[in-house]
Structure 1
Amino acid sequence: MPAEVLARMTASDPGRPRLTWYDDEPGPTAGERIELSARVLANWVAKAANLLQDDAAAGPGTTVGLDLPAHWRSLYWALATWSVGGTVVVGAAATGADVLVTASTAAAAAHGGDAVLVTPAALARSHPDAAEAPAAVDEARELATHGDVFSPMSDPEAGDVALAGAAGDTAYGEVVVARPEWGEAPRVALGGELEDVLRACLAAWAVDGSVVLVRGPRDADLTARLTAEGVTTDAR
């Protein structure tokens, strides 16, 4: 189960970096580097899970659409959804989920249910256009007010759907799949579509590994950077 993967990482070595993010995409966050230890990642997850459970009454059976690219914020929202026992929905169907997590004010404003408006920038204190989606939760402003410890009201069953995307529905009991070719405690470079990145993160973390997530041009030569980061497998 994804929540167990996070708990094991936090218990085994809470201070070791588990998620390193590089943004090479042209735009306001270009050049951003974020590094999260297991402890810090778990803190973000707990706050997001508390928001989902307390504000959106999310739990087993609730669908949470991630209308976001593969991004460090997408990862903790996915883990938060799995912590409450909900279903992460990615791709074209994301905007039709019960709860929508998005960086688009238009999508948030058009959503008929609960919506969370995400600002990608690491140091954002509010979404600059939050007034365009007044019913949505402004994550940058409100997430910090939620608790640092999360206790689920209900746990998912192994057969419940954990992830819905282009590859179909994947149950909780099947979503964490180790990749033996990566070895033990790998440091894996990732990029690309969110669904693939989510599956690969769980695979790496399940064997005490870590990930370096890169967003940017596919043809970029990142050899020196990945070497400096100690990457053992380039799975971009």
Structure 2
Amino acid sequence: MTASDHTPADLLRSALAREPARPLVTFYDDATGERVELSVATFANWVAKTANLLQGELSAEPGDRLALLLPAHWQTAVWLLACSSVGVLADVGGDPGKADLVVSGPDTLEEARACGGERVALALRPLGGRFPQPPAGFADYAVEVPSQGDRFEPYAPVDANAPALAVGGTELTGAGLVERSLADAAGVGLAPGARILSGRGYDTWAGLSDGLYAPLAAGASVVLCRNLDQLADGGLEKRIESERVTHSVPQ
């Protein structure tokens, strides 16, 4: 973190300037066998493309509310940082009927239809694959995002004191989010180069902090695991060793 880091998007920019090649998010889905590792540079590129989609194609503006109906997943992490880049409030698990736009996984499409604004769907397939048949009324993220620009500039400055994240009935500003992330990182001893394994969902602040924000703030990285209960006996210990994990919160 630097003195100019006031939002999560600022934290990512600083990480990109410092160590673009280091791992930032390593994602496992033990239901499918998927493993994806994203360096800071690769993750930032996905964030830039997604922010351009959000601002340009979806016409999102600072202060808009986006209902984020996605599990703990590397693409969810991308959307959270894209929202921060544009100044959109990411309402994790929020009511689509009260949102300006919605981003949904394959299991929440019917719920997401309550949104009267733009709707985006993610198949959450390995390698960021698209839907075999796009869901009616939704833009398929995997179809729309590849053509977006690799650099992002917001149309309007992002206010660090505006609401940036809502989860579990609590709203945090961008500045408050950074402050809390730094405190959480210090509380568990996360330092630059550390690797934290998290099997927690993204439906609580603890899951979001362990699984994204605290390691980002600390200059660390996260091994984000979905469906850990399907991992074979002894598999978690092997993963901790092979991924050089220094901190672990499996659930």
The verdict on a shared fold, with TM-score over 0.5 as the criterion, is yes
Note if contact 1:19-1:212 (Cα within 8 Å) is conserved in structure 2. yes
Name the structure 2 match of 1:205.
216
Letter in 1 for 2:65: T
Figure out how many residues of one structure are paired with residues of the other and give that number.
230
| 8 Å CA contact retained: 1:115, 1:137 | yes
Q: In 1, Cα distance between the equivalents of 2:240 and 2:65?
A: 35
Shift of residue 228, structure 1, vs aligned partner: 0.9
Q: d(CA) in 2 for partners of 1:92 and 1:45?
A: 21
| Structure 1, unpaired ranges of 5+ | none
**Identity percentage over the alignment?**
36
1:119 to 110, 123, 130: 123
Aligned match for 1:20, one of 26, 31, 55 = 26
Inter-CA distance 230–95: structure 2 relative to 1 (3 Å threshold): farther
How many angstroms apart in 1 are the aligned matches of 2:20 and 2:14? 9
User: Which residue of the partner structure matches residue 15 of structure 2?
Assistant: 9
1:65: how far off? Answer: 1.4
Residue-by-residue CA offset, 1:93-134 (whole Å, 9 max, x unaligned): 35632111112343444431101111111335531231x42x
Letter in 1 for 2:30: D
Q: Find the partner of 2:89 among 87, 90, 106.
A: 87
2:195–2:223 Cα contact (<8 Å) kept: yes
Distance 2:79 2:150 in 1: 15
Q: Secondary structure at the match of 2:131?
A: coil
Whole-Å Cα distance in 2 between the matches of residues 73 and 33 of structure 1?
13
- Secondary structure of 1:144's partner? coil
Give the letter for the 2:216 counterpart.
W
1:165-220 Cα offsets, whole Å, 9 max, x none, are 10511111110222213231221111222143322311111111000000114485
1:215 to 208, 219, 226: 226
- TM (norm. structure 2) is 0.85
SS in 2 for 1:175: helix
The more displaced of 36-45 and 151-160 is: 151-160
Give 2:4's aligned residue: none
Match for residue 183 of structure 1 among 160, 173, 190? 190
What root-mean-square deviation, in Å, do the aligned CA atoms of Structure 1 and Structure 2 show? 1.8
After TM superposition, give the deviation of residue 164 of structure 1 in Å: 0.6
**Aligned letter for 2:140?**
D
- Cα deviations by residue, 1:44-79 (Å, 9 ceiling, x for unpaired): 001100000002221210111110101111000110
Report the equivalent of 2:176.
174
- d(CA) in 1 for partners of 2:77 and 2:138? 20
